[in-house]
Amino acid sequence: MTEKDINLAISASPHTHSGASVRGIMLTVIIALAPALLWGFRLFGWPAIVLTATCVAACVAAEALSRRLMKRKLGIGDGSAVVTGLLLAMCLPPALPLFMAVIGAVVAIVVAKQVFGGLGYNPFNPALVGRVFLTISFPFAMIQWTAPDAPPTDDTHAVTAATPLAAWETEWSGQEETAGFFEEYPWVDLFFGNQAGSFGEVSSLLLMLGGLFLLWRRCIHWQVPVFYLGSVTIIALILYGIDPHRYLPPFYHLFSGGLMLGAWFMATDMVTSPVTARGMMIFGCGCGVLTMIIRVWGGYPEGVSFAILLMNAAVPLINRYTRPRVFGTRQS
Amino acid sequence: MKTRAAPYRCAGGLHPVYHKSLTAAAATIPLELPSTLVISLAQHLGAPARPLVKKNETVGRGQPLAEPAGFISAWIHAPTSGKIKAIDEQWTAAGRRATVITMESDGEDRWADGYPQPPLPADADRKQQIDRVAAAGIVGMGGAGFPTHVKLSPPPEKAIDTLIINGAECEPYLTADQRMMVEDADRLRQGIDRIRRLLGTPAVRIAIEDNKPDAVKAIQQALSSLDGDVEVMVLPSAYPQGAEKQLIYSVTGREVPSGGLPMDVGTLVENVGTTLAVADALDSGLPLTERVMTATGDALSQPANLRVRIGTPFDKIIEHCGGTKTPPAKVVCGGPMMGTALPSLAAGVCKTTSGLLLMPQDTVHFFESMACIRCGRCVNYCPMRLMPCTLSEGGEAEDDELLEEYRILDCIECGSCAYVCPAHRPMVQHMKNSKARIALIRRERELTKQRTS
Amino acid sequence: MLPLIVPLAIITSTAVIGLTGLGCGLLLAMAARFLAVREDERIEALTECLPGINCGACGMAGCGDYARAIIEDDAPVNLCKPGGEETLKAICAYLGIEAQAGEREVALVCCGGHNGLAKHQATYNGIADCIAAERIGGDGKACPFGCMGLGSCARICPVNAIEITEQRLAAVHPALCIGCGACVKACPRNLIGMVPESRKVHILCRSTDRGPVVRKYCEVGCIGCNRCVKAVGKKGITMDGALAVVDYTVPIEDVSVAETCPQSTIVVRDGRKENAS
């Protein structure tokens, strides 16, 4: 072998890699979302499927277009736009008019992500920004929940129903007799996913399975979901202990609304959550406390999206103050 | 003598694919004498050595070719007998240019006058023994190349109470230390005993990762005759377990202070190869002219553990190992985690060369880096508990204040962060670059301070 | 009643905010007047004479800092390279001293070995920055002295006068160069020099390797054959080991010396003409 036949590669160490990639992580997230997504499709039928397709297509198109306009490399191959599209669709009411979904997707990708410089630079979770934008812009359309047992073909005027959280806040909270609520919304339905709501958020069980899959694939850190769900449980338990007629039991807080999707898939979004272990714990607790404050005392029946976005804003600060103690700097 | 698991766990801890089975069971073969040797004068930490020979001069094996140029520097000896062909600048195994002596072997391998030197008895004067270690040109053979005689003479206020023999060998692919422990355990015992006496009989801990049970067994047997506080510490296999600071922590629970040396916490770490070299120098009077290394990789036909002369050109080693199976796309001097990628194969083995790794095209990781997605994996895996993601971004922005605040100079460049990074960022290059710049700034600051005061 | 309330509310809020703004403005104006730091007016005047691009070529933090240094620390008045003669005259006129102008200097990249001429022994994969690449042994170019073309000089240039050509070689546009010398410091291989603008003969190589070694890796590298030195009679070109070096203190009138170079390392360029065009 002579020197002439070879052209060696040089780079800094290490010369080997774990094989992890951004695309791989996004693919894992998509796989983890799949069970809850498919369950949503089964429950709400074509409207949900069309909504999802619209969101994903709009996100990818918005990403490609904005990157082109900004003369950046086309970055849709990393799959992050697909994930944003899926997450956005999953936290929307299944019967939402499609033009609204498109607006939400464009806001999510262009305003919340590309304007800041693209994946990695966005301070807020894009899908949540999209959802919150829609909640504020179209407050009525965003609470038109389809009843889960409505026939899937009945697409024009689906039977609407209240979500458990909304029903509790408007009708049952503070009543003398609350047994009727628990009859109308049995916990089994909440847990397995037979409730009204954003179509990807209904089945707590499947979302949790997806979350555990992410944990197993090491795509998320355990601190965020554990501390998020933990703080919600503790606060709900305390409130329930104080006045069971005014406040929902912890179980209902955990398994209704967007908490499962939020705790496992949104709050754990890498770009917008802290990088330090202690930071993730603080972040999770903050999300939990804010969620409960908004749910119990706020104007909206559900507060997961606002809570996570507010905590997103605190992430740089959290990172800064939870730096690990560097090896060799022990105070003696 | 006891054997037990290391009592402490250091932060981080990767589990890369080790690929050690390629050579773990292969007995060390002495490589035939090459016709040409290229001997770098920058084989150690500190100032490159000053050449003592001229072109066309005839030298014998063991004859000093270059003398130390400063306190932190080392002697370099002729690896065999022959004629000096050239003294010029060339690429070295360290991946940079340095003065290199090219010599042609005469095939006789004749020792120079007075070499090998007479052995020094164990009760010889301490200073005499340390001078012999210095004169033998021994430097840390694990990779850093710190002159051993400097380590062996700590200032009197820093008493060494624990001597750690580093047999962790946490780098994937490399098996040279493992083979030395299996094959040369008795000589290793002599070396340990020698170093121990020089330091005033501290406790001895031999640290070996649990993926080398054969080495643990061989060491247990050989060291059973050694009295005093001697223990074999079995470490869990995790990268970078063999890094000096991490090893000291795993074995003793002591943290080497930031910017400090192992002697600051009363410990001294010697690599297996270095310990053997000390035994050779004191018991047999041999200067450091050869070492054991692993030639391996999926592009090499017959991976092997080799005993080679310092200065053996890498293409010679490849030839001896049956050539290449597939054309190598990257050749690494050292292990895959911390080794240096070589631009050409003309360079020769250094005292610190623990391995030669030939990687075929499909295993070479060509990356196109993306923006950091803040997954936090690097923070999780950093054995120094730094925040590599922040440091790499700070390095890109040349934000020196931030880099110092986040303690970039504590980075040991182990590469754990780059290994796990899903955005494929060249973290270690960022670190090296920023560290060098910050070190420069600090030096300038120091100078201006001296001038003004 | 209702239509009346609305305008009233608007008027009230406008008035409150307007008055608050007015009050703050007054406060600021007073602060500017009473808390102002009195600066030597000469410094201000000198700052006006300087170009104001804060390039740092003089070694100070910026133009204002340089002006302060002239007044307070007796710094030399001819340090402003971008300003050149004009600035020097202005400063001297203000200070009432005589001006001695030197010739304008521009940066020159002393390497002609672009990708088609110089051999690459390895492929570099890493940060696109010369300094970073040099720290791990270069960018794979076989010549250890050659331009890596990763653009550290181009990025530091305050006026974008350096271009990285498609063949990965840095090239200075003399017309745009302000002579600040930032690139000279940035190049990890010390390839950039400052040369008087009027000089035409340049040796585009800094390899000190011996001829046979240079030949192996570059078609336009200096092989140290000594022919150019003989041709100019040692006036203007000298040998530094195996490298011919232009001595810019001695102007070379006869540009035909370039033809003696067997490697075409010597080039003839008219910086002034390039400026004019």
Q: Which residues pair with C194 in a beta bridge?
A: C107
Distance CA B310, CA B331 (A): 18
Cα angle A157, A160, A165; round to 5: 160
Q: Which two tokens stand for residue A302?
A: 């559900």
Total Cβ atoms within 10 A of residue C121: 23
CA atoms of A264 and A251, how far apart (whole Å): 17
Residue C84 pLDDT greater than 90, yes or no = no
Within a domain: B181? no
Q: Name every chain A residue with its beta carbon within 8 A of the beta carbon of B95.
A: 10
B447 lies in some domain: yes
Q: Average pLDDT of chain A?
A: 88
Q: What is the token pair recorded at B435?
A: 């560290």
Please classify residue C141 by burial: count the beta carbons closer than 10 Å to its beta carbon, then call 0-12 exposed, 13-18 middle and 19+ buried.
buried
Residue of A1, A270, A327 lying closest to B374 (CB–CB): A270
What is the reported pLDDT for B343? 87
Question: What is the nearest CA distance from A251 to chain C, expressed in angstroms?
Answer: 48
Q: Compute and round to an integer the Cα radius of gyration of chain C.
A: 28
pLDDT at C276: 46
Among the partner residues B258, B337, B341, nearest to A329 by beta-carbon distance = B258
> Does residue A14 have a cis bond before it (omega within 30 degrees)?
yes
pLDDT digits (tens, 9 = 90+) for A54-111: 999 999 999 999 999 988 887 778 899 999 999 999 999 988 999 999 999 999 999 9
Q: What is the pLDDT of residue C171?
A: 92
Across the interface, which of A3, A7, A12 has its CB nearest the CB of C123? Answer: A7
Mean pLDDT in residue range A236-248? 91
Say whether A83 sits in a helix, a strand or coil.
helix
Cβ-proximal residues to C58 (8 Å cutoff; 6+ apart), any chain: C66, C69, C75, C79, C80, C81
Closest-CA distance, C136 to chain A, in angstroms, reads 6
- Give mean pLDDT in consecutive 10-residue pieces for chain B, a chain of 453 residues: 87 91 93 94 91 94 93 93 92 87 93 92 90 94 89 91 94 95 94 92 94 94 90 93 94 93 94 95 94 95 95 93 92 93 90 94 85 93 95 93 94 95 94 93 88 78
Taking the whole predicted model, whether its pTM rises above 0.95 is answered as no
* Contact yes or no for C135 and B97 at CB 8 A: no
Residue A157 pLDDT grade (very low, low, confident, very high; cuts 50, 70, 90): very low
Burial of A197 (0-12, 13-18, 19+ CB in 10 A): buried
Residues B186/B222, Cβ–Cβ less than 8 Å: yes
Backbone φ and ψ of B64, nearest 5°? -60, 130
Beta partners for residue B300, in sequence order: B324
Distance CA C92, CA C193 (A): 28
Helices first, then strands: H and E counts in chain C: 10, 9
- Residue B90 in domain: no
Contacts of residue A1 in chain B, CB cutoff 8 Å?
315, 318-319, 323-324, 327
Q: What is the mean pLDDT of residues A157-176?
A: 75
Residue B172 tokens, joined: 């994937």
Contacts of A243 (CB under 8 A, 6+ apart): none
Q: Does C127 touch chain B (CB under 8 A)?
A: yes
Asked if residue B113 belongs to a domain, the reply is no
pLDDT at residue A281 is higher than 90: yes
Q: Is the pLDDT of residue A246 over 90?
A: no
B34 touches chain A (CB under 8 A): no
Residues C188 and C180 sit within 8 Å (Cβ to Cβ): no
pLDDT over threshold 90, residue A162:
no
Average pLDDT, stretch A176-184?
81
Count how many domains chain B has.
1
pLDDT of residue B366: 81
φ/ψ (deg, to 5) at B374: 55, 40
- B407 is a domain residue: yes
pLDDT tens digits, A9-37: 999 989 999 989 999 999 999 999 999 99
Buried b or exposed e, range B220-248, using 16+ CB within 10 angstroms: bebbeeeeebbbbbbbebbbbbbbbbbbb
Q: How many CB atoms lie within 10 A of CB B378?
A: 28
pLDDT at residue C66 above 80?
yes
In a domain, residue B436? The reply is yes
Domain extent for B386: 377-452
Close Cβ partners of A144 (under 8 Å, ≥ 6 residues apart)? A93, A95, A96, A160
Distance CA B383, CA C55 (A): 41
- At C239, is the secondary structure helix, strand, or coil? strand
Chains that touch A (3 or more CB pairs under 8 A): B, C
- Neighbouring chains of B at 3+ CB pairs under 8 Å are A, C
**What count of Cα atoms within 13 Å lies in the side-chain half-sphere of residue C213?**
16
Mutate to test the interface with A, among C115, C119, C120, C123 (most CBs of A within 10 A): C123
Contact status of C126 with chain A (Cβ, < 8 Å): yes
In sequence order, which residues have a C-beta less than 8 Å from that of residue B278 and are 6 or more positions away?
B133, B138, B148, B191, B194, B195, B270
Q: Which residues make Cβ contacts (< 8 Å) with residue A56, sequence separation at least 6?
A: A81, A82, A85, A86, A89
Of C126, C144, C210, the CB nearest to B97: C144
| Contact (CB<8Å) B429/C126 | yes
C125, C136, C144 ranked by CB distance to B432: nearest: C136
Within a domain: residue B103? Answer: no
Angle at B452 between CA B447 and CA B453, to 5 degrees: 100
Measured over the CA atoms of residue C130, residue C131, residue C136 and residue C142, the dihedral's sign is positive
Residues A292-327: tens digit of each pLDDT: 999 988 888 888 999 999 999 999 999 999 999 999
Predicted interface score ipTM higher than 0.85: yes
Tell which of B411, B427, B429, B444 to mutate to test the C interface (max C CBs under 10 Å).
B429
Q: Which residues, in sequence order, are bridge partners of residue B98?
A: B90
> Does residue B89 lie within any of the structural domains?
no
Nearest CA in chain C to A8: C122
Is the model's pLDDT at A151 over the cut of 80? no
Q: B112: which 2 tokens?
A: 């120079």
Q: Could you read off the pLDDT of A210-232 as tens digits, one per residue?
A: 999 999 999 999 999 999 999 99
CB atoms within 10 A of CB A248: 25
Give C124's contacts in chain A (Cβ within 8 Å). 9-11
Q: How far away is chain A from the Cα of B439, in angstroms, using its nearest Cα?
A: 19
Q: What is the Cα–Cα distance from A10 to B347, expressed in whole angstroms?
A: 15
For the CA atoms of A12, A15, A16, A22, the dihedral, rounded to the nearest 10 degrees, stands at 30
